[in-house]
């Protein structure tokens, strides 16, 4: 008995000071709800502070007595969208444009010193999309990207240098690690990370709880990335097509078969069930514009990428949404053209929404934090006019944006 009393007293002594009153809640009602995996015709989302407290059918989800009611106006409530692959988005004014388009998070997959400092020391002020960042690319000394300022690339030549670089980036607040596996595709190939250095990067990153994303434009480097255990692939790698085959692509409206060896590689990638961020828009703007000698050739080049993305879908692969904003002159906002390419490759609206939410979150190392409306996730959501599962253009009609539990647009 005495022991029990003592225990109660001790436990009492260990309790923290009286808790602050729980932050007031917000109840979003009168709309369809896509919580990240299923559509509920009449749904409710309860937010408390900056987290999701509950999400479910209107009839069975209790509304807290202190809740402020937000009317979704018959629209669809869904997680805030994520552009999982951008550059040069440190300035709040740029991320504001993403936010206005319903993109509540962007992930920078390679930044130089100036941008990195801005990400590390964000300025408070105008509400803007969240930013997650990698910092500089890890690459072989003198490697890709060659056409950028040196601070955007950290050359690592040995496993020890690789481990130190990952530790340095983690200490600087990196949310994930980006590696480049690219020889520049020119007559004088750039050096590329060796197998053992790449392995040291992934081992050290995983030890520190960070994901590794690999830039792979050429299918020849895909095996190296998968062997090292990277967590996401950036850009759909192109098949090697001879000039004669490419000429055939220009003459035919139907897609031609892609090389067997290439499809085997895609199959291996699909089997891993890691997110691939295709970024076909930037491949169109950069790679296709560089190889094509006419508009017809450019169109054929884009069709090759779309066919590759179609085959990858048939093989059961996963995709994430990313625009590569900041690298080829595209506008900040909803990566609509990229979504259209996904549609052309036969991905369903539900798959594209998953790519733009939970799969992009995974690619950015933020699974469990953003990209879903399950309890415990950050309270980032949007309300759109219409049902994007039936008509994806509903995403272009954003009525309300909630960021971190606050209505920042459409109140
Ligand atoms: Zn990029």
Q: From ligand 1's centre to the CA of 180, what distance in Å?
A: 10
CB atoms inside a 10 Å sphere around CB 31: 26
In sequence order, which residues have a C-beta less than 8 Å from that of residue 299 and are 6 or more positions away? 250
Q: From ligand 1's centre to the CA of 17, what distance in Å?
A: 48
DSSP state of 267: H
Annotate 145-179 with DSSP letters as a single string: -TTS-GGGEEE--SHHHHHHHHHHHHHTT-SSEEE
Residue 89 in contact with residue 106, Cβ under 8 Å? yes
Q: From ligand 1's centre to the CA of 279, what distance in Å?
A: 8
Q: From ligand 1's centre to the CA of 284, what distance in Å?
A: 13
Q: From ligand 1's centre to the CA of 233, what distance in Å?
A: 11
Q: From ligand 1's centre to the CA of 21, what distance in Å?
A: 44
Q: Terminal CA-to-CA distance of the chain, rounded, Å?
A: 57
Pairing of strands 318-319, 275-277: parallel
Q: From ligand 1's centre to the CA of 85, what distance in Å?
A: 6
pTM, entire model: 0.93
Residue 95 in contact with residue 81, Cβ under 8 Å? no
Q: From ligand 1's centre to the CA of 276, what distance in Å?
A: 13
Annotate 188-255 with DSSP letters as a single string: SPPP---HHHHHHHHHHHHHTT--EEEEE-BGGGHHHHHHHT-SEEESPPBPP--HHHHHHHHH-SSP
Q: From ligand 1's centre to the CA of 34, what distance in Å?
A: 29
Q: From ligand 1's centre to the CA of 86, what distance in Å?
A: 6
Q: From ligand 1's centre to the CA of 290, what distance in Å?
A: 17
Whether residue 411 is preceded by a cis peptide bond, meaning omega within 30 degrees of 0, is no
pLDDT tens-digit profile, the chain (411 residues): 444 444 443 444 444 555 666 677 999 999 999 999 999 999 999 999 999 999 999 999 999 999 999 999 999 999 999 999 999 999 999 999 999 999 999 999 999 999 999 999 888 788 999 999 999 999 999 999 887 778 899 999 999 999 999 999 999 999 999 999 999 888 899 999 999 999 999 999 999 999 999 999 989 999 999 999 999 999 999 888 888 888 888 888 888 899 999 999 999 999 999 999 999 999 999 989 888 889 999 999 999 999 999 999 999 999 999 999 998 889 999 999 999 999 999 999 999 999 999 999 999 999 999 999 999 999 999 999 999 999 999 999 999 999 999 999 997
Nearest Cα to 235, choosing from 179, 155, 159?
179
Q: From ligand 1's centre to the CA of 144, what distance in Å?
A: 12
Q: From ligand 1's centre to the CA of 131, what distance in Å?
A: 15
Residue 278 in contact with residue 235, Cβ under 8 Å? yes
Opening angle at CA 300, ends 294 and 303, nearest 5: 145
In sequence order, which residues have a C-beta less than 8 Å from that of residue 248 and are 6 or more positions away? 256
Domains along the chain? 26-78+372-409 (2.30.40.10), 80-363 (3.20.20.140)
Q: From ligand 1's centre to the CA of 394, what distance in Å?
A: 27
Residue 194: burial class (beta carbons within 10 Å; 0-12, 13-18, 19+): middle
């Amino acid at each position: 008995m005495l022991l029990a009393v003592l225990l109660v007293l001790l436990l009492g002594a260990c309790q923290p000071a009286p808790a602050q009153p729980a932050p007031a809640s917000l109840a979003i009602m009168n709309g369809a709800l896509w919580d990240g995996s299923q559509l509920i015709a009449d749904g409710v989302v309860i937010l408390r502070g900056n987290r999701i407290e509950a999400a479910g059918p209107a009839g069975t989800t209790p509304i807290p007595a202190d809740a402020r009611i937000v009317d979704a106006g018959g629209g669809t409530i869904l997680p805030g969208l994520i552009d999982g692959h951008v550059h040069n988005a440190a300035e709040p004014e740029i991320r504001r444009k993403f936010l206005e388009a319903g993109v509540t998070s962007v992930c920078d997959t390679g930044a130089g010193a100036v941008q990195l400092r801005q990400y590390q020391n964000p300025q408070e002020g105008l509400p803007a999309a969240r930013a997650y960042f990698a910092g500089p690319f890890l690459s072989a000394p003198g490697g890709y990207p060659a056409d950028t300022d040196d601070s955007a690339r950290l050359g690592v030549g040995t496993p020890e240098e690789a481990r130190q670089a990952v530790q340095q980036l983690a200490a600087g607040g990196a949310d994930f690690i980006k590696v480049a596996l690219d020889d520049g595709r020119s007559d004088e190939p750039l050096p590329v990370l060796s197998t053992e250095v790449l392995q040291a990067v992934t081992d050290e990153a995983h030890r520190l709880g960070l994901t590794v994303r690999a830039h792979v434009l050429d299918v020849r480097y895909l095996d190296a990335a998968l062997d090292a255990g990277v967590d996401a692939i950036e850009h759909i790698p192109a098949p090697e097509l001879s000039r004669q085959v490419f000429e055939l692509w220009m003459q035919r409206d139907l897609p031609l078969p892609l090389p067997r060896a290439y499809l085997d590689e895609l199959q291996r990638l699909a089997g891993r069930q890691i997110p691939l961020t295709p970024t076909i828009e930037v491949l169109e703007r950069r790679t296709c514009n560089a190889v094509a000698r006419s508009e017809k050739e450019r169109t054929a080049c884009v069709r090759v990428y779309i066919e590759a993305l179609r085959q990858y879908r048939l093989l059961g692969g996963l995709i994430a949404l990313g625009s590569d904003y900041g690298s080829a002159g595209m506008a900040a906002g909803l990566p609509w053209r990229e979504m259209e390419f996904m549609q052309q490759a036969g991905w369903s609206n539900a798959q594209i929404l998953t790519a733009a939410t939970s799969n992009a979150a995974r690619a950015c190392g933020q699974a469990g934090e953003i990209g879903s409306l399950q309890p415990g996730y950050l309270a980032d959501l949007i309300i759109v006019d219409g049902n994007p599962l039936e008509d994806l253009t509903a995403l272009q009609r954003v009525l309300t944006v909630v960021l971190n539990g606050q209505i920042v647009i459409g109140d």
